[in-house]
């Protein structure tokens, strides 16, 4: 459970998705998805493999176009944006890749400085140094500044990946399977870090996962996705209190497999 009260503005919808459809030929992946995400909220999208979670995220950042429906992110209608407008939007929507996506030939510090230098022309070396130190401190890994990614554990790589997204101070963080492939203790650390980011930087987050513990610990609200639809939404305890057969099935699946 969170040891702080999230600062959520329920009047401010930073993501508004309405009746979204997306198919690939005869594969009807999204079949009428609607979702509001509020400023400062951590929302978890829970669903089994292949239900369309990644397709949804790609539509949110304009990497895929929907067949129909509306997608508004930070006040912009995403499908209508030009390429330069999309690039601008993507600076405000940070995507945390599953593997951290670090450059193996650069030190941790260089990996963190890279997006900052590329996206902030004219930034001084002093400012870069200060921002790198701040995000490294935020993820609890100040001591790794001069290390190479190959010297880090899987959990540390994830943390540095999160720091690299965070350094551009996005309004929205998208976490793709943040705890996949990690041992339970490291999972707990990553879950705590996701909450710490919410608390310290007041970001809005979408967390895609099939890890129920991650959903429970990080999510202010959960949506459960099945076959391209949201079959349930609400706080974790409310969703999983349900006697709905589809929800039980998901719950059992998590513990059996
Ligand atoms: N670019 C694409 N072209 C064709 N089919 C695609 C494309 N992207 C995704 N799909 C299909 O859409 C469906 C949903 O895929 P998606 O990656 O969103 O699933 P997911 O819920 O994120 O699964 P996982 O948890 O395994 O990552 C799959 O059947 C996939 O094959």
- Measured in Å, residue 240 CA sits from the centre of ligand 1 at 25
**Residues linked to residue 233 through DSSP beta bridges, in sequence order:** 223
- Sequence-distant (≥ 6) Cβ neighbours of residue 16 within 8 angstroms: 35, 36, 70, 71, 72
- Measured in Å, residue 20 CA sits from the centre of ligand 1 at 15
Nearest to 221 by CA among 89, 37, 57: 37
- Measured in Å, residue 7 CA sits from the centre of ligand 1 at 33
Q: Does pLDDT of 2 surpass 60?
A: yes
Radius of gyration of the chain (CA): 18
Ligand 1 contact via 27 beta carbon (within 6 Å): yes
Give the count of beta carbons closer than 10 Å to the beta carbon of residue 168.
18
Q: Which two tokens stand for residue 223?
A: 């949506």
Residue of minimum CA distance from atom 8 in ligand 1: 55
d(CA 189, CA 172): 21
Give the count of beta carbons closer than 10 Å to the beta carbon of residue 80.
11
- Measured in Å, residue 61 CA sits from the centre of ligand 1 at 16
Phi, psi at 176, each rounded to 5°: -100, 110
Average pLDDT of the residues in 7-22:
95
Task: Give the predicted TM-score (pTM) of the model.
Answer: 0.90
Ligand 1 contact via 55 beta carbon (within 6 Å): yes
Ligand 1 contact via 50 beta carbon (within 6 Å): yes
pLDDT range class, residue 256, cuts 50, 70, 90: very low
- Please calculate the CA angle 152-155-158 and round it to the nearest 5 degrees: 90
Q: Does pLDDT of 8 surpass 60?
A: yes
pLDDT tens per residue, range 80-137: 999 999 999 999 999 877 666 789 999 999 999 998 998 888 999 999 999 999 999 9
Ligand 1 contact via 65 beta carbon (within 6 Å): no
Q: Give the rounded distance of the alpha carbon of 41 from its chain centre.
A: 12
d(CA 206, CA 56): 11
Task: Locate the domains of the chain by residue range.
Answer: 41-63+83-256
pLDDT tens per residue, range 37-58: 999 999 999 988 888 988 999 9
pLDDT range class, residue 226, cuts 50, 70, 90: confident
What string of DSSP letters covers 40-77? Answer: T-EEEEEE-TTSSHHHHHHHHTTSS--SEEEEEETTEE
CATH of 41-63+83-256 among 3.40.50.300, 3.30.2320.30, 3.40.50.620, 3.40.50.970:
3.40.50.300
d(CA 29, CA 25): 10
Ligand 1 contact via 53 beta carbon (within 6 Å): yes
Q: Can you point out the beta strands (E) in 92-220?
A: 93-96, 172-176, 204-209
């Amino acid at each position: 459970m969170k040891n702080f009260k999230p600062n959520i503005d329920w009047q401010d919808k930073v993501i508004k998705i309405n009746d979204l459809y997306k198919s690939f030929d005869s594969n009807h992946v999204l079949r009428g998805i609607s979702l509001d995400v509020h400023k400062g909220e951590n929302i978890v999208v829970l669903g089994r493999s292949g239900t369309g979670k990644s397709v949804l995220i790609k539509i949110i950042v304009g990497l895929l176009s929907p067949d129909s429906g509306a997608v508004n992110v930070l006040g912009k209608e995403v499908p209508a944006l030009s390429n330069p407008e999309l690039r601008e939007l993507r600076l405000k929507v940070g995507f945390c890749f599953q593997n951290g996506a670090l450059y193996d030939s650069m030190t941790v510090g260089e990996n963190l400085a890279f997006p900052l230098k590329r996206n902030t022309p004219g930034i001084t070396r002093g400012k870069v140094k200060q921002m790198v130190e701040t995000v490294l401190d935020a993820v609890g890994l100040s001591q790794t500044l001069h290390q190479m990614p190959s010297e880090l554990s899987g959990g540390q790589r994830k943390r540095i990946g999160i720091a690299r997204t965070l350094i551009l101070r996005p309004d929205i963080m998208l976490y793709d399977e943040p705890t996949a492939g990690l041992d339970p203790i490291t999972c707990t650390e990553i879950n705590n870090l996701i909450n710490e980011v919410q608390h310290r930087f007041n970001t809005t987050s979408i967390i895609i996962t099939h890890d129920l513990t991650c959903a429970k610990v990080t999510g202010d609200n959960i949506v459960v996705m099945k076959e391209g639809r949201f079959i349930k939404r609400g706080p974790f305890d409310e969703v999983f209190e349900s006697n709905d057969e589809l929800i039980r099935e998901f719950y059992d699946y998590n513990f059996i497999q």
